[in-house]
Amino acid sequence: MATYSFRLNGRQVSVESWDPAQPLLYVLRGPLALHGPKFGCGLGQCGACTVLVGKTATRSCTLAVRDAAGRDITTLEGLGTPEKPNRVQAAFIAEQAAQCGYCTNGMIMAAVALLSKTPRPNLQQIKQGLAGNLCRCGTHTRILRAVQRASQV
Ligand code: FES
Ligand code: FES
């Protein structure tokens, strides 16, 4: 069994895996017990599993654990806490931008990536930034409002 080490939410972690191609998502939700990233499609198509690799929004269901080794990974848990949410998390709460909440992890992580590159996006840029993330509940209007709110903080 091989060991893979990477930086996760600001601290160095090591995990063992039999399979170097095992999706990072499984490692995060399994041995590392981080349940922010969700399993949606498992095919890189819905965005529910999104994490940040560096500052880039990345699908953890299609990122092999061997390719995560040595990288700087941030999950939803690394952004803030219930007591001290980061500005995007706080904006999603303020706008009540969730129904079932399954897409919320991906929407927030994509929004954080967008705002790190484009601090004051217009509506079109926000739509583009979130275009790869699916919401089946139709919460889009509130999600867009939340990202606009976060961009104004
Ligand atoms: S679960 Fe990864 S993109 Fe859908
Ligand atoms: S709030 Fe249910 S999928 Fe988006």
The answer to whether the CB of 35 falls within 8 A of the CB of 27 is no
pTM for the predicted model, two decimal places: 0.97
For ligand 1, the distance from its centroid to the CA atom of residue 126, given in whole angstroms, is 20
Q: Is 51 in the pocket of ligand 1 (CB under 6 A)?
A: no
Banded model confidence at residue 52, pLDDT cuts 50, 70, 90? very high
The answer to whether the CB of 128 falls within 8 A of the CB of 80 is no
Mean pLDDT of the 129-151 span? 97
Q: For residues 64 and 138, give the distance between their C-alpha atoms in angstroms, rounded to a whole number.
A: 31
Percentage of the chain with pLDDT > 90?
Answer: 99
Three-class SS of residue 87? helix
22, 35, 41, 63, best to mutate for ligand 1 pocket (most atoms within 8 Å of CB): 41
45, 93, 96, 104, best to mutate for ligand 2 pocket (most atoms within 8 Å of CB): 104
Q: Which of 1, 57, 56, 59 is nearest to 25 (CA)?
A: 59
